[in-house]
Amino acid sequence: MEPKFRIPLGDWVEVGLDWLTSTFDAFFVFIRSVFVGAYDGLDWLLTAPPYWAVILVFAAIAWWVSGWKLGVGTALSFLVIVGVNQWSNAMDTLALVVIATVVAVAVSIPLGIWAASSNRASGVIKPILDFMQTMPAMVYLIPALVMFRVGVVPGIIATIIFSMAPGVRFTELGIRGVDKEVVEAGHAFGSSPGKILGQIQLPLARPTIMAGVNQVIMLSLSMVVIAGMVGAGGLGGDVVASLSRIDAGLGFEAGIAVVILAIFLDRVTASFGANTTGGRSKSA
């Protein structure tokens, strides 16, 4: 038996979106221009040089943060991407992931600090994060398409919303996990709350925060295919094309390129967090 009433939630959402797009159209155009400019610039930086030069830079970064094994593995892995003719798409995807990650981290870390410093703020932020993480990722594309039109920007916006939750949670967890006696010692020596945060809490919480950044990157990469559905291109575009054509070969080539990017970013960020921890231990 069907209920005799219906909550017009969908109608309210549509009315709200119509109001947003009509009221803040100039703002959305500005945001779109900023993201398009940042994406085009970073994409040009990754694709304009010869592929071997970019691979050498990536390998050098991996060698610096972890050692020669990761450096050599990085070079060989990216040569596989070149070998399957996915270099340009992989760099497009990397540009999207980097921009989305930078914005997500820039928003999530301050929110995590705020949540760690206020139980009331934490109580408000946590349900919002739960909503962001459990809402199907494709749902974010609908309002993003309405506000920013087809292209790379809706993919970036949806990726930011979907991926920023771990950054907030891990930042709050890391700061709340700092030994209270160390914080009380800072207060005893007359340190201001800003100094305690910058010189005690954040350095000690850095490994946990870096783990959150790592998760933000991984979730950003998981959105690649969904971003490809709204015209973001890159590896996600090829995966979507392979689905429409039932082309298993193309799908596997694009998929292995995503895996290589994920492993590279995961190992580099994890090694960077481990190195910063080790450096503090040695200095202590």
Q: Which pair of structure tokens corresponds to residue 41?
A: 């610039």
pLDDT at 62 over 80: yes
Asked which of 54-58, 79-83, 140-144, 203-207 is least confident by mean pLDDT, the reply is 140-144
What confidence score (pLDDT) does residue 77 get? 92
Q: Which pLDDT band holds residue 1 (cuts at 50, 70, 90)?
A: low
What confidence score (pLDDT) does residue 274 get? 64
Q: What is the spatial distance between Cα 226 and Cα 162, in angstroms, rounded to a whole number?
A: 11
Q: Answer whether 134's CB lies under 8 Å from 112's CB.
A: no
What confidence score (pLDDT) does residue 110 get? 92
Q: Which pair of structure tokens corresponds to residue 100?
A: 């989305």
What confidence score (pLDDT) does residue 279 get? 46
Mean pLDDT computed over 151-162 = 85
What confidence score (pLDDT) does residue 283 get? 38
Distances in whole angstroms, Cα of residue 74 to Cα of each of 25, 36, 262: 43, 29, 11
pLDDT at 57 over 90: yes
Percent of the chain with pLDDT over 70: 94
Q: Which pLDDT band holds residue 41 (cuts at 50, 70, 90)?
A: very high
pLDDT at 205 over 80: yes
Q: What is the spatial distance between Cα 133 and Cα 165, in angstroms, rounded to a whole number?
A: 7
pLDDT at 63 over 80: yes
What confidence score (pLDDT) does residue 50 get? 92
Mean pLDDT computed over 48-55 = 92
Q: Which pLDDT band holds residue 60 (cuts at 50, 70, 90)?
A: very high
Q: Answer whether 266's CB lies under 8 Å from 214's CB.
A: yes
At position 189, the amino acid (one-letter code) is F
Q: Answer whether 171's CB lies under 8 Å from 107's CB.
A: no
Give the CATH architecture of domain 25-277: Orthogonal Bundle (1.10)
Q: What is the spatial distance between Cα 231 and Cα 248, in angstroms, rounded to a whole number?
A: 21
For the segment 68-109, what is each residue's pLDDT rounded down to a tens digit?
Answer: 888 999 999 999 999 988 899 899 989 998 999 999 999 999
- Cβ of 117: how many Cβ atoms within 10 Å? 15
Mean pLDDT computed over 227-254 = 79
Q: What is the spatial distance between Cα 250 and Cα 223, in angstroms, rounded to a whole number?
A: 18
User: Which position has the higher pLDDT, 1 or 81?
Assistant: 81
Whole-number average pLDDT of the chain: 84
User: Which position has the higher pLDDT, 279 or 220?
Assistant: 220
What confidence score (pLDDT) does residue 252 get? 86
Q: Which pLDDT band holds residue 2 (cuts at 50, 70, 90)?
A: low
Is the Cα torsion angle 203, 207, 211, 214 positive or negative in sign? positive
Q: Where are the domains of the chain?
A: 25-277
